[in-house]
Amino acid sequence: MFDAEHRNDRCRVRDEENCDIALGDSLKSAYESVVRRMFQAPAAGAPADLDITVSPVVAEVIEGMGAREVVLEGRVIIRSATTGELDRRSYSARSPVLGSEGVSIVNAAHRASQEITLEFERTFADSKPVFNWLHGRGVEPVDSALSWPMRADWIAFLDLGGGPVIGGGDAAAPGLLARFGIAGRWFITQAIVGRWVPPFDTAIRRDGTPEVRYDADLATTDLGIEAGPRIRLGNAMELRAGGGVHVLWGTAEAHTPAQTDPTSSFSTVTPTAFGAAQYTFWPTGSRFRIRVGVELRKYLSTTVGFQEFSRTIPVADTYLGVYLGFETPLGSTPVRSSGPGR
């Protein structure tokens, strides 16, 4: 709807220039055009879901410094048929009059009107009430300041996580893992660095003495590479699974009354299988996304022997942890192709 009953809806120039151009008409035509592009018309006989009322506040030709320009300003009120007024805004633009004939004023008014309505279209979904109204009707706004951008197909990421490592030594131990890598649309490749220290009991036999049991630690470092499929569920959720190869190495150290605790080094190579579920969220205005998730990893063959301690011990069996990290797109971020009201 266009409210043309306003005392400033026509140009103001000197009487001798004989100008009687309805600048408000240019603004009206521009708004009608952009609204038809943004929204579908209601079915015959059905009420409109949204009412957009445009009132020209300023529509005039001003002169100064030997030049003239058209000045347009319009007030827009956006109302929902169900919830009432959603938002009201003002838009303004200026355009120089490039000539002395009347058509030059018409052309300047057209340029100013186009500038105003393009700004209206670009910022329509930037207000929270309008954004929420669109979402409530299942419409995903395009390029809104409040809308998440599409995730890129190719990303680089870095995650830090922690959780229990089960099946290593004689009891579960807290583990810390870092993961970094590259993901495409359908697959992921990542490197893993981890650290955990499970406890175990050991028996030490010295010449002429029976076995004596002591507490010991199995300080373990993990370095691996993994790959597998990646399934994206919408714009924020994803599932991953796959396998890889890890090198585990470290030192077993028994805590004894001796001045120097006995130690023994170890290393082993093991295949692994992993699965993860992840959710990402987007800090407004940033290229980065924050990632949170849960991950399960199975170490398939990690048993090592320590002759000094009379023990054969698994280094790890299962890791279950949560992680927090960030990702950044590689290349340009894709955009949605539909308009805000389609």
**What pLDDT score was predicted for residue 296?**
97
Indicate if 212 and 126 belong to the same structural domain.
Answer: no
**What pLDDT score was predicted for residue 160?**
97
Is position 144 within any domain?
A: no
* Nearest in space to 97 (alpha carbons), one of 88, 107, 89: 107
Is position 208 within any domain?
A: yes
Is position 10 within any domain?
A: no
Indicate if 127 and 169 belong to the same structural domain.
Answer: no
Indicate if 215 and 288 belong to the same structural domain.
Answer: yes
Indicate if 229 and 278 belong to the same structural domain.
Answer: yes
Indicate if 193 and 297 belong to the same structural domain.
Answer: yes
Is position 149 within any domain?
A: no
Indicate if 102 and 161 belong to the same structural domain.
Answer: no
Indicate if 131 and 160 belong to the same structural domain.
Answer: no
**What pLDDT score was predicted for residue 259?**
60
Indicate if 112 and 197 belong to the same structural domain.
Answer: no
**What pLDDT score was predicted for residue 8?**
44
Question: End of a domain among 107, 136, 165?
Answer: 136
To 10 degrees, the CA torsion angle through 226, 227, 233, 237?
Answer: 20
Indicate if 123 and 173 belong to the same structural domain.
Answer: no
CATH number for the domain that contains residue 69:
3.40.50.10610
Indicate if 174 and 286 belong to the same structural domain.
Answer: yes
Question: End of a domain among 109, 136, 163?
Answer: 136
Q: Mean pLDDT per 10-residue run, the chain (342 residues)?
A: 47 41 73 83 78 82 81 87 87 85 81 88 83 78 66 91 93 95 95 95 64 84 97 89 96 78 88 96 74 96 85 92 94 53 40
- The Cα 18–Cα 10 span in angstroms is 13
Domains identified in the chain, total number: 2
**What pLDDT score was predicted for residue 201?**
85
**What pLDDT score was predicted for residue 147?**
65
Is position 209 within any domain?
A: yes
Angle (deg, nearest 10), helices 102-123 and 23-38: 30
What secondary structure, in 3-state letters, does the chain show? CECCCCCCCCCCCCHHHCCCCCHHHHHHHHHHHHHHHHECCCCCCCCCCEEEEEEEEEEEEEEECCEEEEEEEEEEEEEECCCEEEEEEEEEEEEECCCCCHHHHHHHHHHHHHHHHHHHHHHHHHCHHHHHHHHHCCCCCCCCCCCCCCCCCCEEEEEEEEEEEECCCCCCEEEEEEEEEEECCCEEEEEEEEEECCEEEEEECCCCCCCEEEEEEEEEEEEEEEEEEEEEECCCEEEEEEEEEEEEEEEEEEECCCCCCCEEEEEEEEEEEEEEEEEEECCCCCCCEEEEEEEEEEECCCEEEEHHHCEEEECCCEEEEEEEEEEEECCCCCCCCCCCEC
**What pLDDT score was predicted for residue 5?**
46
Indicate if 113 and 169 belong to the same structural domain.
Answer: no
Indicate if 114 and 210 belong to the same structural domain.
Answer: no
Is position 36 within any domain?
A: yes
**What pLDDT score was predicted for residue 341?**
43
Domain range spanning residue 109? Answer: 15-136
Question: End of a domain among 87, 104, 136?
Answer: 136
